[in-house]
Structure 1
Amino acid sequence: MADLLLGQTLRFAGNPTTEGPEAGRHSARGGVLIEAGRIAAVGEADDLRRAHPGARVTDYGDALISAGFIDAHAHYPQTAMIASWGKRLIDWLNSYTFPEEMRFSDPAYAAGIARTYFDLTIANGTTTVCSYCTIHPESVEAFFEEARRRGARAYAGKTCMDRNAPEGLRDTPQSAYDDSKRLRDRWHGVERLNYVLTPRFSPTSSEAQLEALGALWAESPGLLMQTHLSEQTDEVAWVRALFPTARDYLDTYERFGLLGPGALYGHAIYLEPREHARLKDVDASLIHCPTSNTFIGSGLFDMDGMTRGGYRVGLATDTGGGSSFSMLRTIAAAYEVAQLRHRALHPAELWWLATQGSARALRAEDRIGNLAPGMEADIAVIDLASTPAIAQRAARAGDIWEALFPTIMMGDDRAIRAVWINGKPVL
């Protein structure tokens, strides 16, 4: 039986970061028809009711029906240590991240964290995640098993590190290649699951490992590759010392075949002119992680320059460096960071970045991130009056963007009225 969801609807006919808010399409009384896990139609509520009298109707009243949020860069193994106090990136990794990640050799522990992680992200309206795992294949198995159980589209990969990490978190060039290839063959393309090649970042991979992973990526058409790039100034200096002959940070990937379409670079704050040009040349994706960048004191991503430059830009929580599982909080932080760079991002741009923009960064904009016929039915229903403070402000709104902005800035999991994944209600 088809399902018909009624309420306000918000979809995008273009990219508001380049085309303006007019790229958004809002209906005050719209509907979304779901059949066999996909969106079959989007339109006005009365028209869809008449055209599909046999559909099962769920009426959300004045709530906003949107594509679910897409978190384009996260570390699910850091779930239990989120909001750990007071460190810069490298010290934070050594003090908190690496000791926690060592526990993921235990399949039962990994499975328990994966369950908690998906509970938390779904409760916040996130329907797709791209996550780093740990060096342990067990961590990948746990993540994909849980995503598969929930019917979610999910992206993940075994993190590869063979230096500058504790002994229990180091692999080798050969084992990184072999494990990644085996996990790719086991999981990539199974139902809605996508394997992602995952060198953590160049400081924790030897040249031999980066070369091996570059070779594997070349052997894997259509596979995404995720890593970190220019997150903090001391990190950039460390890379310069580790790779004295490299032209810049990006070159530590490029020279080993880890630059190209399908590359996802987290952070990308301190880029040199050559790096800007090469990233644009190959149409790589840049993933903005605003709560992480402020929490760890990294810096301010140049959203205005990147969007005007036509780069693929996604939005992400970067949990647990990021301080929230909520994409609403992440959107608010993106607005605040842009304000510090003297650019007020419009609500249409912010919402697009968390949905269609992140889908575009993952090269999945034809499948997820929007309300349109043929898209996979991953949907978040947003209460635009979820708290008294939000409700009293939204009541004064003159249009959908003014009504939505209070939820962007003050909303949390209380604003998530319902979540549908693969055409089924899960919250």
Structure 2
Amino acid sequence: MSLKGYESSYYADSANAKKDYPSLQGEVRTDICVIGAGFTGLSAALHLAEKGYSVSLLEAEKVGWGASGRNGGQVCQGHNMGHEEMIAKVGRPAADALWQMSLESVDLVKELIDRHQISCDLKQGVMHVAAKPSHSKELQESVEYKQNVLGYDAIRYVEPSEVADMLGTHRYHAGEYWTEAAHLHPLNYALGLAAAAEKAGVKIYENSRVTEYHAGAGARVKTAEGEVRADYILLACNGYLGKLEPRIAGKIMPINNFILATEPLDEALCRKINRDDLAIADSRFVINYFKLSGDNRLLWGGGENYTTKFPSDIGSFVRKYMLEFYPELKDLRIDYGWGGTLAITLNRMPYFDRVEENLFVAQGYSGHGVALATLGGKLMAEAVSGSAEKFDLFSKVPTPTFPGGTLLRFPGLVAGMLYYSMRDRFF
């Protein structure tokens, strides 16, 4: 039975027992007001409370209601921007530090799960696979660069024959296997962070959509039925920012991604299509990604759109991507299909910024949200408490505004995505 107030999904139906948090009523005084109860906001609130701050966390819907509770659950090291490109933009020392923080982000997720005993189907291993033979060399060069230049050994190149043994198909051509990466049930991870934050003293308010706020001296945040007065405001809205803060809205583009869940598979089929129980993501621009759930369902993500509406039958929409690589699964029953809205940036790097002296933002994780959003929340907490070095490293990565800002970004993105979708299929 799905949790009340959540969109229908496998994650909502398999969520751990959850308490409801009240909506904001009247005026509240707090040190920090966090807006958004996804991974960023939950992590920021938890880490701030552990530092002794009073924290109020406002969520327009329910804890983990957005992309944090609907995504593919992959927790992987690295960034979307290549290390050499990063060096060109920010210099070698900063690029090396950003690489190390990507490693820290995965360790942080594991540490929080262990310390707070969060039950979220945590499993080990992520593999990126070549969807075309021409992509294999890029994966091999990527592995060699990380091993030889970055000194990172928890990664290996997987030859086509071994990929076929691991995934039961010859439609993938090579692999980049991150042995210390992980995957999990994202909604249960979010709910676990919320429970830990509340235990640490955070006041969580659900169904409390922020209508306006004012930073600076005497900062205040308003909802329909209440107001928070705070010393600092942290924006953790990501793809659901909307028009709340026009100064940063043009830095991100909300896009929709979709997932299905099959009926539970027997053990033999599980081992055939995913021998080592890894999370898989392929090399297409509009990627396919899949994993096995805790109860042996195949969770497959595929396809995107860039409108305000989801397909009417998400399961059928995603199924065609699954069958392109595993046509033998055509008779599997599709039990769930759902979508979520994430935020991408033009350079596919997270956008961190100090918009005003007491107003911070972290958003735009571009598909790396489980690990980097958890880290982003921690770094905002550190910045508020006076240790902003790591936060500032991210903020110094240039984040271009989408051409045309919020008005024209959609037509430009759709044209670009259609081009790359054609490249996925024909080149």
- After TM superposition, the score normalised by the length of structure 2 is 0.27
Greater length-normalized contact order (CA 8 Å, ≥ 6 residues apart): 2
- After TM superposition, the score normalised by the length of structure 1 is 0.27
Larger helix proportion of the pair: 1
